[in-house]
Chain A
C-alpha cells in the first residue's frame, strides 16, 4: 500500500476510534440523561415519559439561587480571567522569553484544580496565612470570624478559578503571539501616534482573539460546571448547580435521579447559552471596537488598565504560590498555634499515618494516569502521522472533534454514560475510569502535540526519504526522536489532566475507585488539615514531577545536540 493510502487508512482508523470512543459515548450519555430527564429510566421503574422530573427539579429548594450562583461564578471567573490575562500578556511577553514564561506558569498549570483549591482554602481560612499575617496589626487574638472560604457570593470560588485559568490563558496567548508580527505592528501603531496599551488593544488583541476563542470557551464551560473546586471553595447552601446535581446523583434516594438528570440537561443548556452569549458579545465588541477605531482616538488613559491587569496577575500568582506552599506546610506541620506564621514543630506523622491508604490511592492514580496518557499519546501520534502520510491539513470539523469533550459539561453526559454501562453490565472497573478520563486527556495531548509536530522541519523528512527510509522508519528514527521534548511535554500535560479528574473517576468508578483526587476532595470537607495536606501535596506533586521529567529527560538525552535543546514546555 502507498504511504498516502496508508495515511488515509491510519486517519480513518483514528476517526473510527474517536467516533466509537469519544463522540459515540458523549452522544449516548447525553441521550440517556435526556431520557431520564423526561421520565424514562427502567432501572428504577420509571417508564412513563413526561415533564415530572423537570417539575421536581424546579421544586428543589434553592435551585434558583444555585443557577444564579453558577452564572455569577462561572461567567465572572471567565470574564475576569480573560481581562487579566489580556492585561498581563504584554508585560509577560516583553519581559520573559517564551520558554522562561512557560516554566514560571508550569506549576500553576500542573497543580490539579482540587489541590489548588484545598491550598487556597488553607490560605483564605480564618486561621490561614492571610489572617495570620494581619493578626498582629488587626489585633486578632484568635482566628477572626470571617468566612472567606465558601462565602455565599462565591468570591473564593471565582478566585480559585482565576488562579487556575489565568496561567492557562497566558500560556495559550504567548503561543498565539508568535503567529503575529508583533514588533512591526506595534512599531507601526506607535509611529501613528498610539501609546503601547492602545496599540495592543486596537492592533494586537483583535488578531489574538481568533486564536484564544476556543481556549476561552473551554475555560467558560469548565468554570460553569466544575464540581471539585466548587465543593471545596464554593458555598454549600445552596451550592452551584453542578454540586447540587452531583449530590442528587449520589443521594441514597433513587427518586432523585430523574430530577438530577433534568438538572444535568439544564447544566448543558446553561453552558450552551453561555457559549451563545460569548458569540454574541464577540460580535457586539467587534462592532463597537471598529467604531472606536474609526474615531481615531489615541487612547491615552488606558495604560493604567494594563498596569492593573499586570498587578492582579501578580497577586493571583502570589496567592497560587502560597496555596501550593500551604499544602506542603500543613502536610508536615505538627503543632501550629495561632498566630505563628509557620508551624512550631514539624512531623512526618501525617504522612506515615496516611500510609497504606495513601499508597493505594497513589498507585491507583499513577496506574490510571499512565494508561490514559499512553493511550491518548498513541492516538494523537496516529492522528498526526495519518495527516502527514495522507498529506492532509486539519479540517475544521476535526478541530471541533478534538475540543468537543472539553466543551460539553461532564455532568451532562457522565451519569447517562454510567447508566448505559450498567445496562451493558460493565460496572465500575478501572478500565471504565481509564476510558472516561481519556475522553478529557486526549484533547489536551492532541492540542499540545499538534503545533510542534507540524513545525518539524520537512527537509529532515525529505532527506530521510531520499536516503531510502520508508514512512515507518521516518516516524521511528526521525520524527519521534526529534520530537521527544514536545512528546514528553504532551505526556506530562496528559498525566496532569488525568490526575486532576474528579467526576469521571467518581461516576465511572461507581465510587469504588479511590484516586488521590477523589480522596483529597472527600477529606477537604471534613477532617484533619494535615491528612488533607498530605493527599493534596502528593496529588500536586505527581504532575509536577512529570513536568520536571519532561524538562530534564530531553535535556540529558540531547546534551550534545544543540539544535534540539529547546526551551522545554
Chain B
C-alpha cells in the first residue's frame, strides 16, 4: 500500500524538466516536493495523475500498491488531485459537487445522500448541501474540494499547492484538517509546494526538485 516514484522525469521535446525523481510514500504519510516556481512541480502532478499535455513525454515509473499506473488513463488510476483553487463545479450545488465525487460503490439514493451529508459535517459544512459553491469562503471551498476527492475513494492523493491561496490565519487550520483526513484514510499523499511551512507541517519525507540547469 504505497505510492512509489522511480526515476520519474517529465521531458519537453526530450529535455528533462528536473533531475529524475525517486520517492517511496508510505500509506498515511504526506511527502512534500519543494522547488522554485517554474521548475515543473505542477507538471509532476500532471504526470502522476495522468493529465500530462501531449507535448510532454515521461520516463521512469509510478507504482501504486505494486501496480504500474502510467499506462492507465487518468480516470482509472485512482489518484485523486486537490488543486490550488479547489475547482468546484459552478453549475452544481456544494452537495452535488460531493455527490459527483462519491464513488459508485455507495449505492441507493438515501445512502449516498447520507454519505455526502456526513462528509459535509466532517468538513464543518453541515447544512451547506444546497449552497452555491460561489458563496463559499476560501477555507470552505478547500475543505469541500478535499472531501470531494476523498469520497471518490482514491488510493493516493496529490495536493497541488493546496494552501497557497489561503490567508495565513486559515492556512494552519486547513493544513491540519487536510493532513488529519489523509492519515485517517491511510493513503499515501504527495504535496507540491513552495512554502517550507507546508513541508514542516506534513512531517513526511521532503524532496527538493533540482532544476535541470543546476545538475551538472
Q: Which A residues are closer than 8 A to B by beta carbons?
A: 181, 184-185, 187-196, 199, 202-203, 206-207, 290, 293-298
Contacts and interface: CB of A to CB of B under 8 A. Distances in A.
A126 B99 CA distance: 55
Contacts of B112: 294-296
A130 B136 CA distance: 59
A373 B103 CA distance: 55
B141 interface: no
Contacts of B101: 192, 296
A295 B115 CA distance: 12
B49 A193 contact: no
A74 B103 CA distance: 41
B51 A193 contact: no
Contact of B99 (A185, A188, A193, A293): A293
B100 A195 contact: no
Contacts of A195: 73, 75
B102 A296 contact: yes
B75 A193 contact: yes
B28 interface: no
A188 B73 contact: no
Given A193-B103, A296-B99, 11 more contacts: A187-B81, A188-B83, A189-B100, A190-B74, A191-B152, A194-B75, A290-B96, A293-B100, A294-B109, A294-B112, A298-B104
B89 interface: yes
Contacts of A298: 75, 104
Nearest to B80: A191
B72 to A, nearest CB: 11
A293 B97 CA distance: 9
A137 B96 CA distance: 56
Contact of A191 (B79, B92, B96, B102): B79
A69 B62 CA distance: 59
Given A187-B81, A192-B80, A207-B91, A293 B106 contact: no
A175 to B, nearest CB: 19
Contacts of B46: 187
A199 to B, nearest CB: 8
A294 B149 contact: no
The main secondary structure of chain A at its interface with chain B is helix
Contacts of A181: 87
B181 interface: no
Interface string B98-120: 01111110100100110000000
Contact of A296 (B49, B51, B103): B103
B83 A184 contact: yes
B6 to A, nearest CB: 22
B51 A190 contact: yes
B90 interface: yes
B91 A296 contact: no
A192 B74 CA distance: 9
B146 to A, nearest CB: 12
A290 B99 CA distance: 10
Contacts of A185: 87, 89
A102 B152 CA distance: 38
Contact of B149 (A192, A206, A293): A192
Nearest to B79: A191
Residue from A181, A188, A206 whose CB has the most chain B CB atoms within 10 Å? A188
Contacts of B75: 190-196, 199, 298
A187 B76 CA distance: 13
B91 A193 contact: no
Contact of B81 (A191, A196, A290): A191
Nearest to B74: A190
B49 A191 contact: yes
Contacts of B79: 191
Contact of A187 (B49, B78, B102, B104): B49
A19 to B, nearest CB: 36
B80 A296 contact: no
Nearest to B93: A290
B138 interface: no
Given A191-B149, A192-B148, A298-B75, A293 B104 contact: no
B83 A193 contact: no
B204 interface: no
A190 B100 CA distance: 11
B211 interface: no
A294 B92 CA distance: 10
A190 B50 CA distance: 9
Contact of A203 (B76, B78, B89): B89
A357 to B, nearest CB: 55
A189 B75 CA distance: 8
Contacts of A192: 75, 80, 100-101, 148-149, 152
B49 A294 contact: no
Nearest to B49: A191
A13 B187 CA distance: 66
A206 B91 CA distance: 7
A184 B81 CA distance: 11
A152 B81 CA distance: 55
Nearest to B85: A184
Contacts of B74: 187, 190-191
A207 to B, nearest CB: 5
A190 B87 CA distance: 13
Nearest to A184: B87
29 contacts: A181-B87, A185-B87, A187-B83, A188-B83, A188-B89, A190-B50, A190-B74, A191-B49, A191-B74, A191-B79, A191-B80, A191-B81, A191-B152, A192-B100, A192-B101, A193-B75, A193-B76, A193-B78, A196-B75, A202-B100, A203-B89, A203-B100, A290-B96, A293-B99, A294-B99, A294-B112, A294-B113, A296-B103, A296-B112
A96 to B, nearest CB: 14
B10 to A, nearest CB: 16
Contacts of B87: 181, 184-185, 188
A189 B81 CA distance: 10
A251 B97 CA distance: 60
Contacts of B80: 191-192
A541 B80 CA distance: 53
A186 to B, nearest CB: 8
Contacts of B81: 187-188, 191
Nearest to B81: A191
Interface string B19-63: 000000000000000000000000000100111000000000000
A187 B100 CA distance: 14
A195 B104 CA distance: 14
Of A190, A295, A296, most buried by chain B (CB within 10 Å of CB) is A296
A181 B91 CA distance: 12
Given A188-B83, A190-B50, A193-B75, A296 B96 contact: no
Nearest to A286: B91
A189 B51 CA distance: 11
A298 B104 CA distance: 7
B96 A207 contact: no
